[in-house]
A and B are shown apart, each in its own frame.
Chain A
Amino acid sequence: MRGKESQSGARLGVLGLLALVLAAPATANERREAYRRPASIPHPESAPYSEVRAELGRTLFFDPRLSGSNFLACSSCHNPGFSWGDGLPVARGHEMKPLARRTPTLLNAAWLDALMWDGRASSLEEQALLPVASPDEMALPLELLPPKLRAIRGYAARFEAAFPGEGLTLDTIARALAAFQRTIVSGEAPFDRWVEGDEDAISEAAKRGFALFDGALRCSRCHSGWRFTDDSFHDIGVRSADRGRGDEFPEIEAVQFAFKTPTLRNVALRAPYMHNGSEARLADVIDLYDRGGRLKRPSLSPEIEPLGLTDVQKSDLLAFLQTLNGADEPVTVPAAPR
């Protein structure tokens, strides 16, 4: 009898525990865990890390001879001094022509699932030569690129060392550029130290801001994980007539005027904001979200709704976002082969 009693008592205990498990909200520590920096860079099986390839890619990345004018390098827009962007509302291309969209950062490019503001490339290798070929950007017809680089004596040995027997081709150029871009990783930020358990790494205001971001406001539904993005596409009500991903999917209303969710790493250092630089300051971006978007089209994401933030909440969110500024590694610019 006593045995039965203790058995049913134990069962009750298990049920009680179960209820506790279900009822307990995620602890602050658990929530932080979802933002922990990864231990290593995810190089794909098809492109394992090779230092010699990455260094060749670095040389190509900073070489303006990849453009028709011999003036624009990849780094002209993706400037490491500006967190791998250019700090302009929209990029400037061939002959200083203003482009339609802002230069996206290359920070943490190795983790990208979709590239370009509209996601039209799905790998760094696929993306690498698109700006080179674009008449508005680097304006070098791709058929001219390999012979142009072959004529630079110093490149032959570098390509042979990086891609033995494969030659200097569009494919090896793109793979080298991709290999280098995978090494661009944002430096440790105060937020990362807080995730690791250093309670003094960020202010109380920033902690409140994070609680809002990850909790009530559910910003983390899209700005998720250590990069603070899931590479998804939304119309968030930005003032713009650019259809973004809608150009690729004209039949799908949900992605009209939709652009890729950007990473928030170093975000406070990367003004202006949005795909077209239409929001000058981070505070303006918070205001856009607070209003539920500036333009309410049928394609507006269902997740975008007015928030009713107080001034203190806005200030807390800003404090949190500023903790994402990383101590990025200094970047070496290699000598261009002659």
Chain B
Amino acid sequence: METLVRRSDTLMPDVANTFCPGCTHGIITNTFCTVIDEMGIREKTISVSSVGCGGMNPLFINTDIIGPMHGRAPATATGLKRCRPDKFVYTYQGDGDLASIGTAEIVHAAHRGEKISVIFVNNTTYGMTGGQMAPTTLPGQVTTTSPYGRDESSIGKPIRMSELIATIDGAKFVERVSVDSPANVRKAKKAIRRAFECQEKNLGFSFVEILSTCPTNWGKTPVESLEWLRTNMMEYYPIGNFKDYED
């Protein structure tokens, strides 16, 4: 019988993930872990988690892993990779972590061309703390700290991190993907592979932004959430490649 879905060896065998039902963090995690399996780099991988929902992955990622300070994952990854350039080092960060408190660290890790990979999960909200407004929250989007909708005249428009990172010379691979459909999951996996290979080839900084859902804090069913992602997020955050390297 053909195996259609396989649990990655980079996930702890007996530990369930702790994401809310319907949240796409689970798909994203299994996808990048499968890339690690396929590249055969699990045993030399040092994972750098983050603070927020991304910070739960020390529970279930089956590699050496460190839980850094909020937003500082790229700095911690810099210290790791500079001391152990023979290891594979990536960060897994949400939009509150990376696009708000951690903007200096992500920009300067890219600017130095650190040989690390970054998985940036954008679900337009602070999931772990209960659905507050993030820099990525869409105009008019209601959150617990923008109860009347994000007012762009006061708070500005959402920040587009992939576009920003792509302007930096040290960033060699930048792509925005989504996991709202099987076809897009396949594309996401391809982008993650290319980002990880960028590091393995010692080319420089690589960055994959993944549009993700937060059914719990959006107050939607998983299916409605995917639909909302497609109709609202993809319009403001177009998926596609912003920067690639030559093979």
B is a partner of A: no
Name A residues whose Cβ lies closer than 8 Å to a Cβ of B. Answer: none
Name B residues whose Cβ lies closer than 8 Å to a Cβ of A. Answer: none
